[in-house]
Amino acid sequence: MIRFDHVSRRYPPSMDALSDVSFMIEKGEMALLSGHSGAGKSTLLKLIAAIERPTSGAVLVNGQNVGALKRAAIPYLRRNLGVIFQDQKLLFDRSAFENVMLPLSIAGFAPKDAARRVHAALDKVGLLAREKALPIALSGGEQQRLAIARAVVGRPAILLADEPTAHLDPQTAHDVAEIFRDFHRVGVTLLIATYDDALFAPMTSRRLKLDHGALKS
């Protein structure tokens, strides 16, 4: 489902964020991506979502070379991907409901169907009662769960998460990890970048470790 074939990513003038990375994640797997700060974890996730393109090598998602996609084709790729960013990228002038609705509106879902999906996603992460709240009124843990709801509202086959439990207290981090476990149980393919190996390791089928842009065995 996700395959890296000798992928490198260089930033000008000569910083190698990733160097000759190769691996494969099968459909339905839950993989853990670890490594020190600056190891290349965020870059790797961005390549999968075609937010960035590799300098060399190929990134394939469902057999499709995403690094070679034309700009107009990228939105169609992302309909099958859910991405949870480190900084969450929430819209603080819109309610929780509106934040989760946004990707469905962009994708052209019918309003009634979209609203049902939004309510289901908010309910899944325990925020249905806060649907009218602005993000600023939510706790850090609630904001993170809101970001998860927005990522999964389109029911993606692949879910990418970049440090989803960073800055959360231990109990909230555990609750967030359980949400990912639930998605894995229903067949979603997950790739989670995290420092918190102990929190996710018991539920993962594959572990990838980056060290200064290189994949370590």
> pLDDT tens across 85-106, in order?
888 889 999 999 999 999 999 8
* Residues of the chain scoring pLDDT < 70: 217
Rounded to whole angstroms, how far apart are CA atoms 146 and 96?
Answer: 7
**What is the pLDDT, as a whole number, of residue 90?**
94
pTM of the model: 0.92
**What is the pLDDT, as a whole number, of residue 116?**
97
Do 153 and 184 touch, CB atoms closer than 8 A? no
Rounded to whole angstroms, how far apart are CA atoms 1 and 27?
Answer: 5
**How do the domains of the chain map onto residue ranges?**
2-216
Which residues does 128 contact at the CB level (< 8 Å), separation at least 6? 119, 122
In terms of Cα–Cα distance, which of 3, 21, 43, 141 is closest to 149? 141
In sequence order, what DSSP letters do the residues of 175-213 get, joined into one string?
A: HHHHHHHHHHHTT-EEEEE-S-HHHHGGG-SEEEEEETT
**What is the pLDDT, as a whole number, of residue 200?**
84
**What is the pLDDT, as a whole number, of residue 197?**
79
Q: Is 42 left (phi over 0), alpha (psi -120 to 50) or beta?
A: alpha
- Pairing between β-strand 189-193 and β-strand 158-162 as defined by DSSP bridges: parallel
**What is the pLDDT, as a whole number, of residue 196?**
80
2-216 architecture in CATH? 3-Layer(aba) Sandwich (3.40)
> pLDDT tens across 153-173, in order?
999 999 999 999 988 899 999
DSSP state of 53: -
**What is the pLDDT, as a whole number, of residue 217?**
66
